[in-house]
Structure 1
């Protein structure tokens, strides 16, 4: 696992409701056993309300997330690695919207 994600892991390590999924399978952050932020091919994908995803894409904050099906997911925002300085902010937003 890339150390690019280490600041996110460190930020959430002691959060009482967040589980850090590491090891095999999907890696990222979970709330109540469900992934809300996923480390994805060097980038970050966060789960948000569809209207939030649309707004943030329009603002240039991220891109639609296509998991390889050819159809972007309405409730996922892909934040590229060149915007990693915003990753914790969007993980926090995702946590609030998924709570």
Structure 2
């Protein structure tokens, strides 16, 4: 079951999405979760009051040092290996990690 998302989290997500539009990032959904894509590749998503990001090893390790950040497990009991969940309390870092994720998925 998807966690509830607050209006504040949606507003912060919208800021991130708008900031990436000029780079060709579009909104979509993955497994019922709002997400950001470039082409068919997902780079970030909204999960409750947090955003998830697909990151390469070094930025992922740095993100995991943020208070409340953790490997992203969508509820299946096993974290997705390249994904990190960063809570709303750390939303000031979301644009930075979204840019890192965009660079990563573009290869």
TM-score by length of 2: 0.75
**What residue number does 2:12 align with?**
4
Structure 1 residue aligned with 2:76, among 69, 72, 85?
A: 69
**What residue number does 1:84 align with?**
91
Structure 2 residue aligned with 1:60, among 66, 72, 78?
A: 66
What SS class does the counterpart of residue 39 from structure 1 fall into? Answer: strand
Structure 1 residues 52 and 86, CA gap change in structure 2 (3 angstroms): closer
- Asked whether the 8 Å contact 1:53–1:74 carries over to 2, the reply is no
Which runs of 5 or more residues in structure 1 are unaligned? none
TM-score by length of 1: 0.81
Quote the RMSD (CA, aligned, Å). Answer: 2.2
- Asked whether the 8 Å contact 2:63–2:86 carries over to 1, the reply is no
Q: When the two structures are aligned, how many residues end up with a matched partner?
A: 96
Which runs of 5 or more residues in structure 2 are unaligned? 1-6
Structure 1 residue aligned with 2:100, among 84, 93, 99?
A: 93
Residue 29 of structure 1, CA deviation:
0.8
